[in-house]
Amino acid sequence: MAITKSAKKALRQSIKRRGRNIVYKDKLKKLVKELRTLIANKKIDEAKKLLPQVYQILDKSAKVGVIKKNTADRKKSRLTRLINPKH
């Protein structure tokens, strides 16, 4: 258990941040799973409509530090390739 005043504050901060990070991660996982399900069911038009939402949550997650920028870019790239495969 934290003893010093600064350690107690750091503990409070980390608990608050963890809660916030979990919200972003859960929303991100939910949207990506929904998008992949649409793609698997060949509902490409619906998937294309959901893609901007996925981009938005990936960018926001990267901005606030939940995931790294390159991770967000990689995920966006791979999801876009699933929707628009090379011909």
Decide: 50 and 31 in contact? Cβ < 8 Å.
yes
Query: What is the reported pLDDT for 85?
Result: 80
Alpha helices, DSSP H only, in 3-68? 5-40, 44-64
CA dihedral 32, 38, 39, 40 (to 10 degrees): 110
pLDDT digits (tens, 9 = 90+) for 9-65: 999 999 999 999 999 999 999 999 999 999 999 999 999 999 999 999 999 999 999
Residue ranges covered by each domain of the chain: 5-83
User: Can you name the CATH fold of 5-83?
Assistant: Methane Monooxygenase Hydroxylase; Chain G, domain 1 (1.20.58)
pLDDT digits (tens, 9 = 90+) for 31-44: 999 999 999 999 99
